């Protein structure tokens, strides 16, 4: 009972800190990084559904992220549609893309699934580059309008922060609800053993498709929010480097956990930005930092608390 009370109080304190965070952050640059962290929490939480809980190494999340961003960008700039129409449209389009990519991937698993899905992601990225009449090619799409809410334009990082905070909270909460449902239990059963899942009457093909679609929908949501935050999208933002970053966030934070995407997105986003001061050595040090986490904390940052407690018990 006492533990539950402490947990509730902790959640309240964290909630209040998040609500009043922009008031304490004076730097627009830092607040922009925080906004990107919230977007990555959404995207990596989606990746966690298919990779962490369903156990499928689907490597197309960055491509779905780009599809969501481009869908929102095209609808808002060429057709002048409202953000509140573009956002659900981006999610729907990426769900369809997730279904189309997922269907051919049903025939393979393990590292074969990783290779096939990565190949399909490369095809999607090349389409962004070469379909100039639709995507404007390497030049990207500019002047994507900021969303408005109740007549107020969310055209600053301070205002946009609260929109992102709400969507990030809903995204993490929805993952938690999925885990407690029949779908979540089916995901975990498939991850642990195909044979055992089938023996329990679980249609692993059906639930894998659900996992692909759910994961894609998170990427579509994150892509739409990104497009209207940055006001510009180009193929360079959704390539292999982006995919590796998202995978690193999931692994560093802790795959198959609720808090993992939150911790991974926070640490690596800030780490990447603050290492810019090293200029040419930025990527080298960043890579070594990720390598350190993977080697010495293989279960992710979520296990640090348990490691500290175990160390105290031994000492």
CATH class of 29-314: mainly alpha
pLDDT along the chain (315 residues), means of 10: 70 88 89 96 96 90 95 95 96 94 81 86 91 92 92 91 96 93 91 82 89 95 96 92 90 92 93 79 80 84 75 65
Q: Looking at residue 2, what is its pLDDT?
A: 56
Would you give the DSSP letter of residue 142? E
Q: Where in the chain are the domains?
A: 29-314
pLDDT for the residue 70? 97
Residue 73's pLDDT is: 96
pLDDT given for residue 308 in this prediction = 66
Predicted local confidence at residue 312, as pLDDT: 65
Measured between alpha carbons, how far is 55 from 47 in angstroms, rounded to an integer? 10
226, burial (CB in 10 Å: exposed 0-12, middle 13-18, buried 19+): buried
> How does 78-115 read in b/e, with b if 16+ C-beta sit within 10 Å?
eeeeebeebbebbbebbbebbeebbeebeeebeeebbe
């Amino acid at each position: 009972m006492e533990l539950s009370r402490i947990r509730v109080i902790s959640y309240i304190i964290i909630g209040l800190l998040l609500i009043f965070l922009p008031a304490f952050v004076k730097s627009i640059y830092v607040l922009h990084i925080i906004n990107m962290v919230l977007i990555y929490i959404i995207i990596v939480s989606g990746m966690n559904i298919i990779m962490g809980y369903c156990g499928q190494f689907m490597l197309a999340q960055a491509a779905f992220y780009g599809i969501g961003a481009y869908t929102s960008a095209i609808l808002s700039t060429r057709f002048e549609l409202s953000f509140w129409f573009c956002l659900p449209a981006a999610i729907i389009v990426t769900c369809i893309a997730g279904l189309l990519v997922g269907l051919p991937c049903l025939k393979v698993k393990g590292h074969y699934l990783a290779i096939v899905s990565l190949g399909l992601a490369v095809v999607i990225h090349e389409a962004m580059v070469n379909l100039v009449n639709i995507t404007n090619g390497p030049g990207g799409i500019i002047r994507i309008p900021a969303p408005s809410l109740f007549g107020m334009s969310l055209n600053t990082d301070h205002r946009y922060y609260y929109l992102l905070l709400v969507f990030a909270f809903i995204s993490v909460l929805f993952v938690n609800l999925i885990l407690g449902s029949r779908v979540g239990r089916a995901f975990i059963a498939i991850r642990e053993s195909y044979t055992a899942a089938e023996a329990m009457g679980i249609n692993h093909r059906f639930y894998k498709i659900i996992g692909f679609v759910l994961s894609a929908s998170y990427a579509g949501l994150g892509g739409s929010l990104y497009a209207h935050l940055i006001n510009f999208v180009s193929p360079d933002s959704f390539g292999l480097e982006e995919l590796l970053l998202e995978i690193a966030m999931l692994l560093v934070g802790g795959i198959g956990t609720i808090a993992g995407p939150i911790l991974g997105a926070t640490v690596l986003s800030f780490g990447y930005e603050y290492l810019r001061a090293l200029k040419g050595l930025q990527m080298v040090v960043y890579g070594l930092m990720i390598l350190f986490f993977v080697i010495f904390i293989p279960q992710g940052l979520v296990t640090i608390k348990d490691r500290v407690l175990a160390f105290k018990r031994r000492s």
